[in-house]
Amino acid sequence: MLKLDVCIVGAGPAGATLSHFLHKLNIDHLLIDKSEFPRDKICGDGITVDVLNVLKRINPELLEKFAAQSEMLPSWGFCFHGPKGQEIRYDFRDADFPVAPFYTARRIDLDDFLIRELPENGSGRFWSKTELIGLKRNSEGFEVRLKRNGEEETIQSKLVIGAEGEKPVVTRYLGLEHFREKEHLLAAIRIYYKNVQGFHPGDHLEFFFDKDLLPGYFWAFPLSNNEANVGLGMLSTAISAKKINLKKMFEQVVERNPYIQPMFENAEALEKTKGWGLPIMTPKRRIAGEGYALIGDAGGMIEAFTGKGIGPGMMSARILSEHLESAFKSGNFDLSPYHDHMYRYYQSEIKHTYRLQKSLKHTWILNPVMSLASWSALTKYAEDRMIRDFLKWL
Ligand SMILES: Cc1cc2nc3c(=O)[nH]c(=O)nc-3n(C[C@H](O)[C@H](O)[C@H](O)COP(=O)(O)OP(=O)(O)OC[C@H]3O[C@@H](n4cnc5c(N)ncnc54)[C@H](O)[C@@H]3O)c2cc1C
């Protein structure tokens, strides 16, 4: 039977990033994914500075390679559009940044890039078409049951890392409680389009706060080849309370919103609407314990306001790699310190994004004074989070 030190379940950005760091640390590991790569993942495809930061930490050349791919579109700014057409726009084309502050990349390309760039002869291996179907603790760690290319196989691993995305399997097989409250879940839909017009010349990420969508928002992000990723997302509690059908809401917003409608005059949808859940960060969710840890969406690492999860997922992998290094040095495989580290790291992000989300809930429609309060909360968010993150990194 194959015996190894770490088994990572799921090869999205979180799992693949952990594999990169374990290669650097020379820790023996196996990365598995039930899909065959390249594979799609429903997402907004917006790449934020934390992704660039982690790529650079893995290896500065990896960041350069990423930026050189023709599928990755540099995006030089972003804009928040208010319900009455107000705009908070930031354009960084004249700033002296070494690379663009944002990118867009179809997930089929980004995730495949991260897998393709894994070292060939390092301390790990990647098995695609391999699904986790069972886990049992034993004296040496875990007996891991897999279905690989349709055949069942059992391996032994000292540690198991859940990076399987939004639908938890590791905690389920371990019989652990997995915190999944609707108030900590967003739901969102995505549609790829062709010929969406009116994007800024700097290929900005456009966020629209339509009054019927609050506290959610509509996005339109330009992609390479004159395509665009368009979608909308909202808190699950708001969807249930207002009995919202996201697909219908999307169609209505495109038809009726005077700032969005002109962008779609000649646009052609390339696919049917696709939806997925976004588990948002909350310290109430336990993400590590004896012999196991959760990273990325499996640990609910999505930022509550924008729905950004690629960067935090990759950052959670980077932080976990430090704890794995210590665990293998000390022989203590209780990974709880990673849980504390993650929530300490994201403490202020969690506080501010929940507060911002609450402030947007009703205020736009109540009265002009309140809507001004929302606008300044958004400006503060843009300046504190999205811009300073980049400046800090330089
Ligand atoms: C509509 C939408 C828009 C979004 N927009 C953005 C955005 O613009 N920017 C951003 O940063 N974030 C965005 N997000 C969030 C982002 O998509 C996620 O946070 C991100 O994909 C998390 O990466 P991950 O590696 O944790 O999980 P995933 O990318 O979901 O990868 C998990 C992997 O695990 C595999 N897997 C699952 N079960 C098993 C099993 N039993 N055995 C083996 N393998 C398994 C899956 O095949 C998959 O490949 C959006 C999400 C949605 C739904």
* 377 falls within a domain: yes
Q: Are residues 112 and 100 in the same domain?
A: no
Residue 158 or 394, more confident: 158
For 272-295, the pLDDT digits (tens) are 999 999 999 988 899 999 999 999
Residue 375 CA to ligand 1 center (angstroms) comes to 30
Ligand 1 within 6 A of CB of 297: yes
Confidence category of residue 386, pLDDT binned at 50, 70, 90: low
Q: What's the confidence (pLDDT) of residue 356?
A: 75
Q: What's the confidence (pLDDT) of residue 177?
A: 83
Q: Are residues 288 and 169 in the same domain?
A: yes
- The C-alpha atoms of residue 374 and residue 245 are separated, in whole angstroms, by 25
* 51 falls within a domain: no
User: How many structural domains is the chain composed of?
Assistant: 2
Ligand 1 within 6 A of CB of 303: no
Q: What percent of the chain has pLDDT over 70?
A: 92
For 125-168, the pLDDT digits (tens) are 999 999 999 999 999 999 999 999 999 999 999 999 999 999 99
pLDDT at 344 over 60: yes
Mean of pLDDT values over 235-243: 87
Ligand 1 pocket test target in 75, 310, 318 with most atoms within 8 Å of CB:
310
- The C-alpha atoms of residue 359 and residue 378 are separated, in whole angstroms, by 9
* 61 falls within a domain: no
Structure tokens at 369: 């004074």
Q: Are residues 203 and 275 in the same domain?
A: yes
3-class secondary structure, 144: strand
* 79 falls within a domain: yes
Ligand 1 within 6 A of CB of 143: no
Q: Are residues 172 and 125 in the same domain?
A: yes
CB 182 within 8 A of CB 292: no
By residue range, what is the domain housing residue 137? 3-41+107-178+280-350
Mean pLDDT of the chain: 91
Residue 331 CA to ligand 1 center (angstroms) comes to 31
Residue 1 CA to ligand 1 center (angstroms) comes to 30
- The H-assigned helical ranges of the chain are 13-24, 49-58, 60-68, 107-116, 170-173, 236-242, 246-256, 310-330, 336-345, 347-360, 363-366, 368-381, 388-393
Q: Are residues 267 and 186 in the same domain?
A: yes
Structure tokens at 320: 């976990």
Residue 342's CATH number: 3.50.50.60
Q: Is the preceding omega at residue 74 within 30 degrees of 0, hence cis? A: no
Q: What's the confidence (pLDDT) of residue 393?
A: 63
Confidence category of residue 358, pLDDT binned at 50, 70, 90: confident
Mean of pLDDT values over 331-340: 98
Q: Are residues 293 and 336 in the same domain?
A: yes
Q: Are residues 201 and 339 in the same domain?
A: no
Confidence category of residue 97, pLDDT binned at 50, 70, 90: confident
Residue 368 CA to ligand 1 center (angstroms) comes to 38
Question: Highest-confidence range of 98-112, 166-180, 374-388, by mean pLDDT?
Answer: 98-112
Confidence category of residue 349, pLDDT binned at 50, 70, 90: confident
- The C-alpha atoms of residue 285 and residue 340 are separated, in whole angstroms, by 11
Q: What's the confidence (pLDDT) of residue 42?
A: 98
pLDDT at 392 over 70: no
Helix/strand/coil (H/E/C) assignment for every residue in 215-233: CCEEEEEECCCCEEEEEEE
pLDDT at 251 over 90: yes
Ligand 1 pocket test target in 17, 32, 43, 48 with most atoms within 8 Å of CB:
43
* 57 falls within a domain: no
Q: Which ligand 1 atom is nearest residue 13's CA?
A: 25
Confidence category of residue 8, pLDDT binned at 50, 70, 90: very high
Q: What's the confidence (pLDDT) of residue 339?
A: 97
Q: Are residues 371 and 260 in the same domain?
A: yes
Q: Are residues 221 and 256 in the same domain?
A: yes
For 168-188, the pLDDT digits (tens) are 999 999 998 887 778 889 999
Confidence category of residue 310, pLDDT binned at 50, 70, 90: very high
3-class secondary structure, 315: helix
Task: Give the least confident one: 301-305, 356-360, 375-379, 387-391.
Answer: 387-391
Residue 382's CATH number: 3.30.9.100
Q: Are residues 196 and 151 in the same domain?
A: no
* 222 falls within a domain: yes
* 220 falls within a domain: yes
CB 154 within 8 A of CB 2: no
Q: What's the confidence (pLDDT) of residue 172?
A: 94
Q: Are residues 199 and 147 in the same domain?
A: no
* 55 falls within a domain: no
Q: What's the confidence (pLDDT) of residue 366?
A: 47
Q: Are residues 206 and 156 in the same domain?
A: no
